[in-house]
Structure 1
Amino acid sequence: MSNTSKLSRFIEFGRKIVAVGRNYSEHAAELGNAVPTKPILFLKPTSSYITAGNPIKIPKGCSSLHHEVELGIVIGQRGVDIQENNAMDYVGGYILALDMTARDFQDEAKKKGQPWSLAKGFDTSCPVSGFIEKEKILDPGNVRLWLKVNDAVKQDGNTKDMIFNVPFLISYISGFFTLEPGDIILTGTPSGVSPVVAGDVIRAGLADVTEIEFKVEKK
């Protein structure tokens, strides 16, 4: 089995999802947050994955579920303390992902200085596309991301506006977490996040490479 063929099954064997918060300055501003001087990292469990045909379910007690469209990096080989200048060698491919966020849970956690685990890691909080081969995205630092809710455009951004680019993120993260084949790095979301409710349909795209669609339901 080729490495690409194996990586296409990242959901089955990948061990972690490392997500980057506030990696677009306009998104930080829209939530009233300062622009970070180093990456803000959090983890989502792999049990949060869903794929096409499965609904996003609003977690119990959540009154403000937000969408966040993101470019995801699929790690292709094991790496520790990776140097930025060869970080792209560790990219096995890409995905389009949604970092669904229970914003009311997150706001409460922020006020109390508590972790974001419930806000970011609940079941169905990481809808993903199929695996995208590395060769289909020649420059992950300049690719369009867009998202619509019920055909209304909510997010329309470009990865060139990321505060920390892909090679830097891989290098930085690998200094704290061993990166392993099938792991995912979610690189942050552009501005335009907004709430969704049961019955809404989210459509999102990555340039002209892929599109995803998910319906929102009550749990």
Structure 2
Amino acid sequence: MTEFVIPPVEQASVAVAGSNARFPIRRVFCVGRNYAAHAREMGKDPDREPPFFFTKPADAVVPAQGTVPYPPLTDNLHHEIEMVVAIGKGGTDIAVERALEHVWGYGVGVDLTRRDLQDVAKSMSRPWDWSKAFDAAGPCGPLQPVGAVGHPAQGRIWLEVNGEVRQQGDLNEMIWPVADVIAYISQSVALAPGDLIFTGTPAGVGKLQPGDAVRGGVAGLGEFAFTVGARRG
């Protein structure tokens, strides 16, 4: 038995719909600007950009329910609703036509972003980590196994705040579909069971305030609801 000098952290995981079992999280990859309308609202040209990626810590994924804390160091916390892909079989240089064989299931999550910190990082050509990889930065609903939902390629994706629809689109609007995203990631790193992929967000990202009631979902994959917590201090 391995002896550790400090107690190891608990395995990060996400719930599985209709089961007491949980999906262990290894790494979290996120696709940037994967919907054309969102790319344009961020001032970019979706016709010229290949997919790019950033990451979040595994333990940044928290249940999309109850109260999700408002993070420190920001006055401009943004919501980004996304379909989440759970990898069940690893590999490198995965062919696009075989990529979906590596998917265990799908879910719905929110890429929370400290937009003010991201804007500063962009202006200074610095990494985005502080804007994307903070505590509780990835609220996520329960995962649905492929056997229950198939491989969603179309369907409504939406998010509302205090009853007002902020984001609404369709999965078929993704510039890079799930199979392409998996293939691209596997060219750079070895995907492994337990990896999650947040697949990008439609247009309409916006500011969250403490006390906001947030709801969202993807057709066929379920819905979530949480409240934004108070600022610290």
Instruction: Report if TM-score (shorter chain) is over 0.5.
Output: yes
The two structures have a TM-score, normalised by structure 2, of 0.87
Hey, what does 2:145 align to over in structure 1? Answer: 133
Q: Which secondary structure does the structure 1 equivalent of 2:120 belong to?
A: helix
5 Å matches for 1:12-51?
Answer: 13-35=24-46, 36-51=48-63
Q: Secondary structure at the match of 1:146?
A: strand
The equivalences for 1:69-148 within 5 A come to: 69-148=81-160
Q: What is the deviation of 1:103?
A: 0.5
User: C-alpha separation between the residues in 1 aligned to 2:188 and 2:179?
Assistant: 15
Distance 1:34 1:123, change over 3 A: same
Indicate how the Cα distance of structure 1 residues 62 and 128 shifts in structure 2: closer, same or farther if over 3 A, else same.
same
Q: Which of structures 1 and 2 has the bigger CA Rg?
A: 2
**For the Cα contact (< 8 Å) 1:55–1:124, is it kept in 2?**
no
CA distance in 2 between counterparts of 1:39 and 1:183 reads 18
Moved more, 162-171 or 33-42: 33-42
Does the 8 Å CA contact 2:79/2:208 hold for their aligned counterparts?
Answer: yes
1:28-64 CA-to-partner distances (Å, cap 9, x unmatched) read 1112123252111001101211114442222212010
Corresponding residue pairs, total: 213
Find the residue that maps to 1:58 and give its secondary structure: coil
Q: Give the letter for the 2:227 counterpart.
A: K
The within-5 A match list for 1:142-157 is 142-157=154-169
- CA displacement, residues 154-175 of structure 1 (integer Å, 9 cap, x when unaligned): 1111110111111111011011
Task: Write out per-residue CA displacement over residues 166-197 of structure 1, whole angstroms, 9 at most, x where no aligned residue.
Answer: 11110110111111111101100000111010
CA gap of 1:134–1:216, structure 2 versus 1, over 3 A, is: same
Separation (CA, whole Å) in 2 of partners of 1:14 and 1:181: 8
Match of 2:182 in 1: 170
Runs (4 or more) in structure 1 with deviation over 6 Å come to none
Checking the alignment, whether the CA contact within 8 Å between 2:149 and 2:220 is kept in structure 1 is no
CA distance in 1, matches of 2:64, 2:75: 24
Identity %: 38
Residue 67 of structure 1 is matched in structure 2 by: 79
The answer (yes or no) to whether the contact 2:107–2:221 under 8 Å persists in 1 is: no
* 8 Å contact from structure 1 (residues 18, 185) kept in 2: yes
- Contact in 2 for aligned 1:95/1:129 (Cα 8 Å): yes
Query: Structure 1 length as normaliser, TM-score?
Result: 0.92
Alpha-carbon distance between aligned partners in 2 of 1:58 and 1:115, rounded to the nearest angstrom: 22
CA distance in 1, matches of 2:111, 2:161: 15
Contact 2:70 2:210 in 1 (8 A): yes
Per the TM alignment, residue 208 of structure 1 is displaced from its structure 2 partner at its CA by 4.1
Structure with the larger helix share: 1
Alignment partners' CA distance in 2, 1:77 and 1:124: 26
For 1:34, give the aligned amino acid.
D
- Is the Cα contact below 8 Å between 1:17 and 1:46 reproduced in 2? yes
Comparing 206-215 with 96-105, greater Cα deviation is found at 206-215
